[in-house]
Amino acid sequence: MSQQQTVTEAQVYDALKKCMDPEIPVNVVDLGLIYGVKVASGKDVDIKMTMTTRGCPLHDTLVSDVKRYVSKINGIGNINVEIVWDPPWTLEKMNPDVREKLGFGKPRLRFQIDYEKSKPLKMGKFAKQEDGSLILANDKDQGFMVNEAIVEFWNTCDGTKTINQLTDQFSAKLGMPRQQVEQEVVQLVQQLLEAELLKA
């Protein structure tokens, strides 16, 4: 009698790597959404996974995608997908290479900024064009198209707040996780420094 082929965790992970998060073009394994895979009696698979956010509208699509890809494994039995929220997902759970490619992760900066001490100070001027677009122009009169959020941030950089304090302020205002906001604040500070619209 031929021995039944047993399904391995490695096969399950390979299948899961084909399953992409629709919001970010990265597979669920590299995103760090898979918290565990167990294979029972050689064929039944239990998958523990989470979502990037609790209100993730793609919840059901992602679960059915996961089941669809895993069901293609030879000899697979039952597939049980359990959504867990503990520990909560963070950017840290992503594959570091992917995180860097997407521009997350601690940005490697051209400007080394001390988040604790550096107090960015706005430079240049703000202008609203006739067509309603917003421009920040540096002292060399180079203009940069911006949106209201960037103008608001630029205005907040009055030389009295450190980058950590600015991050706290925006995190509270936007009601977003500090880690996520810090990423954006740091990138924004980078861009404004490069555009000579801030000095650190």
In angstroms, the CA 163 to CA 119 distance is: 6
Q: What is the pLDDT of residues 89-139, one digit of tens each?
A: 888 888 888 877 776 655 444 556 777 888 999 999 998 888 888 889 999
Domains of the chain: 9-97 (3.30.300.130), 106-199 (1.10.10)
Binned at pLDDT 50, 70 and 90, residue 54 comes out as: confident
Name the most confidently modeled range: 18-27, 33-42, 102-111, 123-132: 33-42
Higher per-residue confidence, 15 vs 106:
15
Of the candidate ranges 63-67, 80-84, 131-135, the one whose mean pLDDT is the lowest:
131-135
Please, are residues 179 and 89 in contact by the beta-carbon 8 Å criterion? Answer: no
In angstroms, the CA 103 to CA 100 distance is: 5
pLDDT at 155: 94
In angstroms, the CA 27 to CA 66 distance is: 10
Q: Within 10 A of 147 (CB to CB), how many other CB atoms are there? A: 10
pLDDT at 23: 65
What mean pLDDT is reported for the chain?
A: 85
